[in-house]
């Protein structure tokens, strides 16, 4: 066997080994979490865990509903704020803006994606929370606990998912070929009609994937949210209420829970739930994106 073939062989095997290692790591995490969460799963019925809103670890009460709802509220609000704004801006960037503007904005958006989440959290505490406390809440006549709550979390998170949705949507819109636009225009459609009926239609699965990716980032985000949502384990009733999302629960309580029976098992169950949900979202979005790349959709 000649030396080049040998090298080829070795390097492909190394890469295979690395891939297998990464996959194993992931599965060992999944299995590890499951094993540690099993005590609580075997003692408390799963319906109680998911649908009870009583959280009293020292009394042996582990209702995750406040945390699940907290996560859903904050993530949902963030998505509601982020989706229209980021879709409009990526449509503007890819369909209307000139090349120079597009080239100037792109690195800026990439930069936004790279800012550590604790910085967003600080910005939330220093700017968003006071704004809600001093301006918005009084103007609407609602009570808040110092401005902390779902709204602050939603705003901060939405800004963190902008870059993902904008850049993935931008890619997807650019993958719609120019001749598709030409067809529509040649039939006498205006630019707006062309974008609405043809470009967005063609890009729809990809935009869906972009939103799901953004959503799953928002779902698992910890630090920034934890700093501004108030962290009260109660099911929120409005966006001005505080919330306590799952990642915040894990980050806040891990380490101080060892003395209470089942507490650590409960927290690891929370981690397992997060992991599975984010995993499902990601797989969904990737599947759609891969199909688009292959030209199936």
Partner 1 sequence: MSEIHIEIDNVNAYYNGNHALKNISVKIQKKQITAIIGPSGCGKSTLLKCMNRLIDLTDGVTYSGKILIDNEDIFARKTDIVNIRKKMGLLAQKPIPLPMSIYENIAYGPKIHGTKKKSDLDAIVEKYLKLVGLWEEVKGRLNSPASQLSLGQQQRLCLARGLAVEPEIILCDEPTSALDPVSSQHIEQQLLKLKKDYTIVIVTHNIHQAMRLADYVIHLYLGELVEHGLANEVFENPKEERTRAYINGIFSPDLKIDSEENLKGKMCPYNFVYAKQALHNLEDGKILKIIVDDPLAVTEVPRGMEADGHKVLIVKQINKKDWEIVIQK
Binding site for partner 1 (CB under 8 A): 99, 177-190, 193, 197-198, 201-202
Least distance from partner 1 to the Cβ atom of residue 176, Å: 9
Compute the chain's Rg from CA coordinates: 23
Of 144 and 184, the one with the shorter C-beta distance to partner 1 is 184
Cβ proximity to partner 1: between 47 and 178 the closer is 178
Q: Rounded to the nearest whole angstrom, what is the least distance from the CB of residue 191 to partner 1 in the complex?
A: 9
Torsion 246-249-255-260 (CA) sign: negative
Structure tokens at 264: 């650590």
> Nearer to partner 1 by C-beta: 122 or 200?
200
Q: Which residue from 273, 222, 224, 281 is spatially nearest to 249, judged by alpha carbons?
A: 222
Decide whether 39 or 205 has the Cβ nearer to partner 1. Answer: 205
- State the minimum distance, in angstroms, from the CB of residue 297 to partner 1: 9
Q: What are phi and psi of 133, to 5 degrees?
A: -65, -45
Q: Which is nearer to partner 1, 134 or 190 (CB)?
A: 190
CA-to-CA dists, residue 281 to 77, 117, 175, 254, angstroms: 17, 21, 23, 25
- Identify the sign of the CA torsion 194, 199, 201, 204: negative
The Cα 70–Cα 51 span in angstroms is: 13
DSSP-assigned letter for residue 207: H
Query: Which stretch of DSSP H or E encloses residue 229?
Result: none
Least distance (Å) from partner 1 to the CB of residue 206?
12
Q: How far is the CB of 198 from partner 1 (least distance, A)?
A: 6
Neighbours of 247 (CB within 10 A): 22
With beta carbons less than 8 A apart as the criterion, state whether 270 and 250 touch: yes
Query: What minimum distance in Å lies between the beta carbon of 92 and partner 1?
Result: 17
Minimum CB distance to partner 1, residue 252 (Å):
47
DSSP state of 145: B
| Nearer Cβ to partner 1 (28/190) | 190
Nearer to partner 1, 196 or 234 (CB): 196
């Amino acid at each position: 066997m000649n030396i080049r073939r040998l090298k080829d062989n070795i390097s492909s095997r190394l890469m295979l080994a690395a891939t297998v290692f990464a996959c194993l790591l992931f599965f060992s995490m999944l299995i590890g979490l499951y094993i540690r969460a099993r005590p609580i799963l075997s003692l408390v019925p799963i319906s109680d865990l998911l649908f009870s809103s009583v959280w009293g670890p020292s009394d042996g009460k582990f209702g995750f509903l406040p945390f699940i709802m907290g996560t859903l509220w904050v993530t949902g609000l963030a998505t509601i704020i982020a989706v229209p704004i980021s879709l409009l801006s990526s449509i503007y960037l890819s369909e209307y803006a000139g090349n120079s503007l597009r080239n100037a904005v792109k690195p800026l958006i990439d930069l936004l994606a790279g800012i550590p989440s604790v910085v967003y959290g600080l910005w939330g505490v220093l700017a968003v929370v006071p704004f809600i406390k001093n301006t918005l809440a009084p103007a609407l006549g609602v009570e808040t606990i110092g401005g902390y709550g779902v709204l602050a979390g939603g705003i901060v998170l939405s800004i963190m998912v902008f870059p993902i949705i904008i850049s993935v949507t931008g890619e997807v819109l650019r993958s719609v070929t120019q001749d598709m636009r030409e067809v529509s225009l040649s039939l006498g459609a205006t630019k707006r009609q062309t974008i609405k009926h043809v470009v967005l239609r063609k890009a729809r699965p990809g935009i869906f994937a972009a939103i799901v990716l953004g959503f799953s980032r928002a779902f698992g985000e910890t630090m920034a949210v934890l700093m501004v949502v108030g962290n009260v384990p109660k099911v929120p009733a409005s966006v001005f209420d505080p919330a306590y999302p799952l990642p915040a629960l894990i980050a806040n309580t891990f380490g101080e829970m060892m003395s209470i029976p089942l507490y650590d098992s409960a927290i690891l169950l929370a981690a397992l739930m997060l992991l599975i949900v984010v995993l499902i979202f990601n797989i969904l979005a990737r599947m759609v994106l891969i199909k688009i790349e292959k030209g199936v959709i």
